[in-house]
Structure 1
Amino acid sequence: MNQILKPFVQVEITGNLKEDIAAIFHYHQDEETLKHVLKVAEEAIRISNQFGVEPEEAEQAALLHDVSNIIPVNRMVDIAKALSVKVEEEELKYPRIIHQKLSRAMAEQVFDISNPNILNAIECHTTLKSHASQLDKVLFIADKLSWESPEHNFQHEIRQKIENNELNQAILIYLNHIWEQRNNLKLVHSWTIQAREDMLSLVEKGFVLLNETITDTKDLMDMLDSLLREPAPFWNGFYSDRSKDIPFFVNHPDENLKSYYENGFIPRGNMLEIGCGPGRNAIYSAQKGFKVDAVDLSEEAIRWAKERAEQSKVSVNFECKSAFDLIPKPEYYDFVYDAGCLHHIWPHRRIEYLRLIYSTLKTGGYFGLTCFAPGYTEIGGALELSDYEIYRERSMKGGQAYSKEKLFKLLEDNFDNVEFRGMKACGEDSGAFGVPFMWASLWRKK
C-alpha cells in the first residue's frame, strides 16, 4: 500500500471489497457515506444490464467511488499532489471536487484495481466528462439517484428517463440543472461543461435517429425523398423569371387538350390538373365549362396562374401544394390532367401518384397525360432512364422519358387507352402549345 495513504487506511484489506469498504467507513465513523455508497452500488447494479454494463464492474466502481471521503477536505489538495494526481487550477476553488480523482488513486493503490473502465468511472463520477463510457454514465447517474435531499427534485424525472431506457436524456436533466444554477455554485467543472455539450449532441442525434427509423411505408417514402432533390425550391426559381424563353410559358393550352374538347372526347364536369404551372390548361378548361381545381408545388407558378385567371376573368381554384397533400375526393372528378408532371415524379412516389389519379376519378372518367418521349434529347427531350438508374445517380437529369411500353405497363390494368400519339409541334401563332418530344395520351378509367 502507498505509504501516503496508509495513515487513512487502518484496517486490513482482505480482498472482499464490500466488507473492506464497510470496515474502512466504520473505522472512520462515517456511516452516512457508507450508506450512500451501498445505495449507489445497489442502483448501479440495477441499471447496469439495462445499459450494457457488466454488473460486477458497476458494483466495484460504486463501492469505491467515495472511498476518499475518509481524507479530510482540507488535506485533499496536498494528498493529491503527493500522489502525483493532477489538480486543475479551477479545482482549487472547491477542493472537495478532487475527491473523485483521489478515489481513483485509492482504488488503484489500496485495492489493487487495474481495470481502466472502473478507474475512469470513479474518476469522473461527480462531474462526468466528455466521451463518457456507459460505465461512466451508469455510475454518474446512480450516484445522483442515491442522494437523499428534498432539494433534488429532478430525481423523479431522471428515474422516468431511466425506465424509458433514455440514459443520455437522464444525464442531461442533471447537467442542465447544474448549468441553470451555475451562477450560484462555487464551481462548474470544465469536465461537466464538456460532458453537457456531449450529451446535448448525443440527445439531438438520438432524436434524429428516432425520427429516421423506418416503421411504415410513409417512413420509407420520406427516407427516399430525403436522398433526392427537394423539388419546390427548384420550381420556384424556375418560374420566378417569366421573361425566360421557355416553350410552355406561352399562355396557350396543350394542342392535345384542345383536340379532346373539339372532338367531344371529354364531357364537361369536375376537373383536376396536377402540376398546373402558370395555369394555361386550367384556365382554358374553365373557359370550356369545367369546374377546375389546379395544384402546383411552386408558389411562383400559382401566383402567375392566379394573375392570368384574373386577367381572363375565369374562376379556377388554384392551390399551392403537392399532389400528395391533396385532401382525398374519391370518384369526384370527371377529368384529371397531367401536362408534364409525371415525368418529374420520383419512381417511388409514382405508385402513390397513380393511385391518387385512379381513386379521384369517377368510373368512366378520363385521365389526360403529356410526358417526355425517349429519343429527343438533342431538341429538348429527356433521357430514358431506368427507375434503378435514377436512384443510383440520385438524379432524373431534368426529367424521365417514358417509352410507350412502360406507360402501358403502368396504366393498362386500371385504364383503357383512348388515344396515344406524339404531341404535335405548334407555332407561336397557332393558339396552342405543342412540342414533338412529348407523348400525348388519353385514358379512360375502367
Structure 2
Amino acid sequence: MFVRRIAVVGTGYVGLTTGACLASLGHRVVCADVDEVKIARLRAGRVGILEPGLAELVAEGLAAGRLEFVLGARNAVFDSEVMFLCVPTPMGVDGAANLAAVESVVAEVGELLPQGCVVVNKSTVPVGTAARVGSLLNRPDVAVVSNPEFLREGSAVADFLNPDRIVVGCDAQDAAERVAALYAKLGAPTVLTDAASAEMVKYAANCFLAMKLSYVNAVAELCERLGANVIDVTEGMGYDRRIGASFLQPGPGWGGSCLPKDTHALSQVAGSVGFDFPLLQATIDTNARQRHRVVQKVREAVGGSLAGARVGLLGLTFKAGTDDLRDSPALAVADLLREQGARLTAFDPGVREGLSDVTVVTDPYEVARGADAIVLLTEWPEFRSLDWNRVTELMAGDTIVDTRNHLDRDALDRAGLCWRGVGVSGSPRLDAVREVVS
C-alpha cells in the first residue's frame, strides 16, 4: 500500500476518528482545527471525546510520528496529497445543511493546495456540494471527491476499521480510485460512483434508518392498544433477513448529531426540486409524537398532572456509550416534562456538568430520592444492575417508565415497583412459555 500524506480539517467525532484511523493504517496524517485549546490537548495525547479505542489510536499515532495536530487548515495542507473536510454541517433555520464551515475552509486553503491534491468531503453534505466545492476552488488540477462516513458514536473506531462498505464518488475516476486506495487494508466492499450519488447514499441511508425507528415506535403504540407485545413482535420481524433486527428497538424517539439534521436536510432538498416526500415528513412527525407519548406515560404515572411532580431521569445522552447531548431525545422529553411543571433530577454516566432546569447528580440513587416517578431515557447497561429495593425505599412513588424496554421487569416487580415500558401491555411477559418452546 502506498503511504499518503493526508490533511484532515476538523477534529470532532468524524475528523479525529478519521485522522487517527488513517494513521493506524500507515498513512501520514496532519489534523487541523481552529480551537487552540483542543489542539494543545490533542498534541499531549488527551482526547476529550468519549469514544472507545480512540485515545489509544491517537497515542499510537503520535508515538509513531504518523499523526500530528496543527492550528488552522493552512498549516496542514502545504504538502498534502489528500485533504479531508470533516467540519460541522449543522442544520440551518430552514432545515437545510449549513455549509459555512466547508466554504470557509475551501476559501482559506484553495490557493495553498499542492498541484494534483484531492479534496474529500467527509462531512455530510447535500447533493451537489462536491460540484459547488469544485466551483469555489476553481482549480482544474484539484478533484473533489465525496466519501461519506458511516460512523456510529460509541463504536466509531470499530466502524471505521470494520466497515460494511466504503462509498467514494467523483466524476474523475482516477481521483475516486486514489481515495478508495487509502482504505485498501480494510478489505471492505467499495462502491465507486459519481459525486452526486455518493452524497445521496448518506442521506438515503440515514433517512431510511430514521423511518425504521419511527415505524417501530408507531408499531409499539399499536401494540399497546391491541394488547400485543412489541418486544416479541420485533423479535419475530428481526429474524426476517429482508428486515433485520437492527433499528427495531422502540424508544423515546431518535436523535443525535445525524438523523435529525439529515432528515430535515433531505426534506429541504426534495422541496427545492419540487418533490413531495410525505413518507419522510411522516417519519419526522412520528418522532415528535413519540416524545409526547413518553410524557403522557409519565403524567399518568404521577396521577394525571406533572405540576410540581418530582421526576427522576436515568440517562441524558442520545444513546449509551457516548457523552453527546446533541439533539438528544432524552433532553427533548426533559424539556416537555419541565414545561408541564415537573421538577427534574437526572443521572447519566457520560454527563458531569449541570444543565439549565435539570439538576444533574453524580449518584443514580439520588435520582430516586423523593421521586414520584423515574424515567429511563438512555439504555446505559449499568442501569440494569441498580439496587431496586434501595430505589423503592428512596422513591415517593412507585413507577418506572422504561422508554427503552431496557430494564429487568421481574427485578422491578420483586422490589415492589411498577414497570411501564413502550409497546408492552400490562400483562406479564410469557418468558416461561418461551423457555419451554425454545
Please report the TM-score for the alignment, with normalisation by the length of structure 1: 0.26
Higher relative contact order (CA 8 A, sep 6+): 2
Give the TM-score, by structure 2 length.
0.26
In terms of fraction of residues, the more helix-rich structure is 1
